[in-house]
A and B are shown apart, each in its own frame.
Chain A
Amino acid sequence: MNTWRCYAASVAFAATKHMICIFNAAASARYIRVYRFFGFPTGTTGITSTLLQLRIARIITSLTPGTTITPVAHNAGNTSLDANTTSGTGSTTTLGNFYRGMYISTEEIAITTFDLDNMWCLVPFAELWNAGYGDSNVEPLTCVPATAEGWSCYSTSALTSSAWDFEIEFTDAAT
């Protein structure tokens, strides 16, 4: 399946901020299926923060990308995405259903330490959402054709916090 990746580096947290999202406008005739979200802490400057919640949610109606993200293909030979499939960070959109919330620790990461901040640096722990966890019977988060919808990982608050990198792994298909 043609596979793509959205990547946003060092995204600062803010209240109800869409840290990374992908949207399939109604004019798109393609299926966009989100398989995975990842989030990695990046800050190394000492700060005092508290727990902050990230949420995975469906987004609906429309998307103004904010800072546009250009998805990158896992195979550079893939057919280009439909122009109505867009991605961004700091986007403006409408929240739909809520799928998952998770508390994260957004303080600085440091060597010779093992706490919640640092655990998120390990790739298996940085996986915020996984479609099916190996079970192919479980559907990924899906954007269907001719329907204005998408998926977001958003922050619930604007605590003092370090920035994170975010990724969305998704496929693009006609059916």
Chain B
Amino acid sequence: MANTWRVNAEGVTLANGKDLLDVFNNSAARVYRVYRMFAINSIATAGIGVVGYVNVYRIITSVSDGTDLTTSIITHDTANSALSANFSAGTNRTVTLSSLFRRVPVSPDEALLLTVDWDSISTVVAWCEIWMAGYGSAGIIEPLTCRASTAEGYCIYSTISTNLGLDCEIEFTDSAS
């Protein structure tokens, strides 16, 4: 098993052209592999939702501004070695978008008791997994990879105009090669 880490951002307000959550390797000599991303509907109060997209992008060059969540990155095993100081996570940062891997239509409206609609079932974890590496093909399909000594990362990026929010998570590993 590789050292595994997780960062989450709760109740991130959506906006058109917004970095909801990102991880970025600022050229550390480590390899970071993104295995899973989640976008979970956590809206419990009435709002006006719209259909839009959360997108999975590679980001490059640098990140700046926004809210740094690096100190909020949590490990799956507290015995893991600390992450490089050149690795960071954040939300609402200024990012440089590179390749688009996926855009997932989402319905960010309030979830309701006793209701089965798109909004409400978007609280079910299995259906909130917007990216999964391999889907069971372990060791065959590459996860989204941040190469060593290269400035690149991955982000969940919103193209939705609404003031409602989602919880976002990125699960990744840290290894020497």
Contacts and interface: CB of A to CB of B under 8 A. Distances in A.
Interface residues of A, number: 43
Interface in A40-91: 40-42, 44, 72, 74-78
Interface stretch (B15-23, B73-81, B119-127): B119-127
B49 A40 contact: no
Interface residues of B, number: 42
A110 B136 contact: no
A114 B135 contact: no
Given A112-B119, A113-B118, A124-B129, A40 B104 contact: yes
Interface stretch (B6-14, B84-92, B143-151, B166-174): B143-151
Interface in B127-144: 127, 129-133, 135-144
Contacts of A26: none
A1 interface: yes
Nearest to A41: B105
B135 A3 contact: no
Contacts of A134: 135-137
A132 B119 contact: no
Main secondary structure of the interface of A (DSSP, over half): mixed
Nearest to B48: A111
B51 interface: yes
Contacts of A171: 140-141
Nearest to A44: B51
A7 B108 CA distance: 24
Given A36-B135, A113-B117, A1 B141 contact: yes
B168 to A, nearest CB: 14
Interface string A90-118: 00000000000000000001111110001
Given A35-B137, A74-B141, A121-B118, A109 B51 contact: yes
B102 A167 contact: yes
Contacts of B108: 111
Interface in B91-106: 99-106
A126 to B, nearest CB: 8
B121 to A, nearest CB: 7
B51 A76 contact: no
B101 A121 contact: no
Given A35-B137, A132-B136, A136-B137, A114 B144 contact: no
A58 B105 CA distance: 29
A127 B132 CA distance: 12
Given A77-B147, A111-B119, A123-B127, 5 more contacts: A76-B145, A113-B117, A124-B127, A132-B137, A167-B102
29 contacts: A1-B139, A1-B142, A5-B101, A35-B141, A40-B102, A72-B101, A74-B142, A109-B105, A110-B51, A111-B107, A111-B109, A111-B118, A112-B49, A112-B107, A112-B117, A112-B119, A113-B117, A114-B116, A114-B117, A118-B117, A121-B104, A121-B118, A123-B104, A123-B127, A123-B130, A127-B135, A134-B137, A136-B138, A165-B102
